[in-house]
Amino acid sequence: SAGYGQHAGAWDSEPYGHVVTEDVSFTYTYPANDSYKVSYTVSVISSYAATSGAGSYEAGSRVTIAAGTRTGYTFAGWTVSAGGAALANTNAATTSFIMPTANVIVTANWTANQAQPVITPQPPAEISYTVTFVDWDGTVLSTQTVISGGNATAPAAPTREGYTFTGWDTTFTNAQSDITITAQYEKDEETIENDGEEEIDEPDTPLIGKPDTPVSGASWALVNLLLAIAGILLALVAIIRMVVTRRSKHNTLWVAATVIVAIVGIILFFLTEDMSNPMIMINQRTIIYAVLFAIGVVSTLLSSRSTTTEGEQTPTAT
């Protein structure tokens, strides 16, 4: 409500203590420059400030209002719901206006803050590797999945006839990548019995004259190659002798036999001997090459004898 100040003036006659016996009027006269000062109220709602600016103000005076802080909320501006005050900045927490000739009601607006999501740190994804255990021939013995830095577990020791398992070719602890681990073996020493029934260790080195001396995998015999080559040389010698001497049907047959035997020997070698394998001196087929070579020698000798005989029987010209 508006309020009025005190003003100095005077009555035209003293009304106090006047005995009224008839109708009478009294006139109060104000000073010439005296004026009324009217004040109005300002109400600030939801300010949350220690000093919001609410109170009584004279019309025309500047009024400052302020909004404080509210937990969980953000200030969202002012709303004037009564009095028609024109705020200098409706979005500022502290603003002002000129007091109108009316009571003013101003409300501070607030917006609830969005709850911040709670982020739970996740452990890093585990990296795993494959550890494969294989036998000497590539047979898979065990396949394991091991996390990075973990250890694999070796399978049961494998077995191999004629060999002793000695371990694995590499370690399988602190896995840092996929890995294949191969079983390792040591060849067993073979033994033979002598007349005194004493066991003697037999070395792994191939022995001359012992067919199929123990060698890992397949092998080929050096003597077989030499016999095959010797047979070819015999055939060449027989052919040369036949060319440089007088030819006869009988002589040609023995030369042909020598050549055929040599060809059979060389073909047999390429069919039965693989020189990419380890070499030994002789094997079970060496006897075949020896027989073929002997036949070649006999044929060559017979062809040579036939040539000599024919030369002796040729009459001498007179």
Per-residue pLDDT of the chain (318 residues), as tens digits, is: 444 444 556 776 666 666 777 777 777 676 655 456 678 898 988 889 888 888 889 888 999 989 888 888 999 898 988 888 888 888 998 999 998 988 999 999 999 998 777 788 877 788 999 999 999 999 999 999 999 999 999 999 999 999 999 999 999 999 999 999 999 999 998 755 555 555 545 555 444 444 444 444 478 888 988 988 988 888 888 788 777 775 555 567 778 888 898 898 889 888 888 888 888 988 888 899 889 888 888 877 877 766 555 555 555 443
pLDDT for 134:
96
Structure tokens at 18: 């006047």
Distance CA 132, CA 11 (A): 122
pLDDT digits (tens, 9 = 90+) for 274-310: 888 888 988 888 899 889 888 888 877 877 766 555 5
* Angle in degrees, 0-180, between the axes of helices 286-313 and 249-272, rounded to the nearest 10: 170
Q: What percent of the chain has pLDDT over 70?
A: 76
Q: What is the DSSP string of 264-316?
A: HHHHHHHHH--TTSPEES--TTHHHHHHHHHHHHHHHHHHHHHHHHHHHHSPP
How does DSSP classify residue 160? Answer: B
pTM of the model: 0.31
Proportion of the chain above pLDDT 90, given as a percent? 26
3-state helix, strand, coil in the chain (%, to 5): 25, 25, 50
Integer Cα distance of 251 and 299 in angstroms: 10
Residue 196 token pair: 């005194």
